Structure 1
Amino acid sequence: MSADVMTRPRPRAVPEARPGRPRRDPGRVLRLYVPLGMYLIFTLVPFYWMLVFALRPAGSADPVPWPITFEHFETVWNDIGYAVFFRNSVVVGVWSLLVTTVIAVMGGYALARYRFRGRSLFMVVLLCTQFVPGAMMLIPLFSIFKTLGLINSLGSLIVADTVFNLPLSIILMSGFVSAVPFTVEEAAMVDGCGRLRGFLAIVLPQLRPGLIAVGSFAFIHTWNNFLFALMFVSRQDSFTIPVGLSYTIGEYSADFGALAAGGVVAALPVVCVFAVVQRYLVHGISAGAVKG
């Protein structure tokens, strides 16, 4: 055998790609993370400046809140009466959440399990109500609440927010119920369970993601609602947080520190709710969107 053949290097074997592990694509990483990073910056910068205004001393223009002060939080909580506004918002939000969830479960179960005349038309009407702005219903609702003696009470806000939360909640809950096989209920009925007992023992535990999703949306919508709280309540001791925030803005000036501190207090419960239930929201929304 000749010398050149003896010294010729052997070609390296190309390693086979492991199944189940896709090759890393730098272009895909660039296309994915650059837009997400830009969106994250666009979203978080306003929150950062809100924290800066809330934590830095009055009159300071530093982009970093140092030294940190909580005087603005004391101003909105004690002087402006934010403690009362916060309590009112919690009462209205929790009651609206409970009533909306209970009625949505019953309505969604009826739409998913029963076939009756006008069912499709009823679903269309529920969907069409989502296109009606709340401002168009202010005068009729004000007249009804005045007749019932609910003006300047938290009951008017609970009723109004519940009514506007119900159509979408019922539609979503009907999708959640449809995702539960009816054969499971039939098996429970064969074992002696009635319709109500079978629903409570079999169906309701499987609706937990849907209940959390519907309740979260109802609470957040009620918490952020400004229009109803402004129109149906005129006493300061019945104001909610969105209306109370407007008291930090005067006719010719605005207390940006107090306004930012109030915004932090207003956003904190919503952030906590999303942090706790975010793992249920995606599953719940997808389940309610593809069924029914």
Structure 2
Amino acid sequence: MTQTTLRRDAVLPPPVQTSAPPRRGAGRVSRWQIYVPLTLYLLFTLVPFYWMVVFAFRPRGSDSLLPWPITLENFDTVWNGLGFGIFFQNSLLVGLASLVATTVIALSGGYALARYSFRGKQLFLIALLCTQFIPGAMMLIPLFEIFRTLGLVNTLWSLVIAETVFQLPLSLILLSGFIKNIPMELEEAAWVDGCSRLRAFFAVVLPLLRPALVAVGSFAFINSWNNFLFALMFVSEQEKFTIPVGLAYTLGEFSVDFGALAAGGVVAALPVVLVFAVIQRYLVQGMSAGAVKG
């Protein structure tokens, strides 16, 4: 019995030395470390918007901290008196046209970059990245000369072309990265079933590109909507102004109508806020998927 007991004890594993239990609260982040920075960030971000809304909705001459009593007089002045209805229409046309042109061109170019191998492909991608470091102000004179030669100065088409050209590099990179993540086997299966390459693209690839297309289109629209420099330099007639240029012309030489300026700011910001609220889920998905190397 003694030998059996010793033999069993001999094959037992050595005792495991456990580390000391972690101290209470170690590695945990307290609530104030989260809420205080977030509160400061929200204050820094939302306070200007709050004051814009207050000035836009409160009566002229009032110094109340709340927009009460609410009045739409400033919006009537901006929309009818200053012609913001026409500015809004021009911005909408330029934004939608830039969205369609950028998305269509970037879709075809992104597919070519993702699926085909050709000489100079890496050099082309490097050139696309390098264009992101060129400020738009440096291209004003060359673009103005080109548009003057083509007879496009003082037309909305000049804004559409300029916005599309400046949006294309980033859009091409995003869409090509997203298409690389789509397995080639899906298209090959469609080819085996008798689909042409174009039909397989529309039937298989295009439905999977919805988040990327939303991301690219929304960025193209918002950047076109907010652009001030091109609209200021290429358009001189008031009937063809966009909203950013119209906001600049609300500033008088000796006085500023803060109520009208704030109402114009609300009109300019509202479409952008609505777009982001609707497409934020697709936007995050499209950006993250396009940033992953396939």
Same fold (TM over 0.5): yes
Q: Does 1:256 align with 2:261?
A: no
CA contact (8 A) 1:80 1:247 kept: no
Amino acid at match of 1:75: T
The match for 1:7 is none
Taking the TM superposition and a 5 Å limit, the aligned residue runs for 1:1-292 are 27-292=29-294
Residue 202 of structure 1, CA deviation = 0.1
Give the distance between the partners of 1:291 and 1:285, measured in 2 at CA. Answer: 12
Give the distance between the partners of 1:206 and 1:223, measured in 2 at CA. Answer: 27
Amino acid at match of 1:92: V
Residue 113 of structure 1, CA deviation = 0.4
- Report Cα offsets for 1:74-132 as digits up to 9, x if no partner: 00000000000000000000000000000010010000000111000000000000000
Give the distance between the partners of 2:250 and 2:231, measured in 1 at CA. Answer: 17
| Secondary structure, counterpart of 1:115 in structure 2 | coil
After alignment, is 113-122 or 32-41 more displaced? 32-41
Residue 26 of structure 1, CA deviation = 6.9
Amino acid at match of 1:202: V
Amino acid at match of 1:73: F
CA contact (8 A) 1:57 1:69 kept: yes
Residue 30 of structure 1, CA deviation = 2.6
After alignment, is 23-32 or 96-105 more displaced? 23-32
Amino acid at match of 1:187: A
Runs of 4+ in 1 over 4 A off after TM superposition: 23-26
Residue 285 of structure 1, CA deviation = 0.5
Give the distance between the partners of 2:108 and 2:100, measured in 1 at CA. Answer: 13
Give the distance between the partners of 1:206 and 1:37, measured in 2 at CA. Answer: 38
After alignment, is 278-287 or 24-33 more displaced? 24-33
| Secondary structure, counterpart of 2:144 in structure 1 | helix
Structure 2, unmatched stretches of 5+, are 1-24
Amino acid at match of 2:285: H
| Secondary structure, counterpart of 1:59 in structure 2 | coil
Amino acid at match of 2:254: Y
Amino acid at match of 1:86: F
CA spacing shift, 1:75–1:24, aligned 2, 3 Å: farther
RMSD: 1.3
Residue 24 of structure 1, CA deviation = 12
Percent of pairs with identical residues: 69
Give the distance between the partners of 1:35 and 1:115, measured in 2 at CA. Answer: 48
Amino acid at match of 1:175: G
- Report Cα offsets for 1:133-192 as digits up to 9, x if no partner: 000000010011011111111000000000000000000000110110001001111111
* Alignment length (residue pairs): 270
Give the distance between the partners of 1:89 and 1:241, measured in 2 at CA. Answer: 6
Give the distance between the partners of 2:123 and 2:177, measured in 1 at CA. Answer: 17
Residue 35 of structure 1, CA deviation = 1.2
Residue 72 of structure 1, CA deviation = 0.4
The match for 1:14 is none
CA contact (8 A) 1:57 1:67 kept: yes
The match for 2:20 is none
CA spacing shift, 1:53–1:185, aligned 2, 3 Å: same
After alignment, is 31-40 or 70-79 more displaced? 31-40
| Secondary structure, counterpart of 1:117 in structure 2 | coil
CA contact (8 A) 1:58 1:257 kept: yes
Structure 1, unmatched stretches of 5+, are 1-22
Give the distance between the partners of 1:288 and 1:130, measured in 2 at CA. Answer: 17
CA contact (8 A) 1:157 1:228 kept: yes
- Report Cα offsets for 1:244-284 as digits up to 9, x if no partner: 00121011111110000000000000000000000111111
Give the distance between the partners of 1:245 and 1:276, measured in 2 at CA. Answer: 26
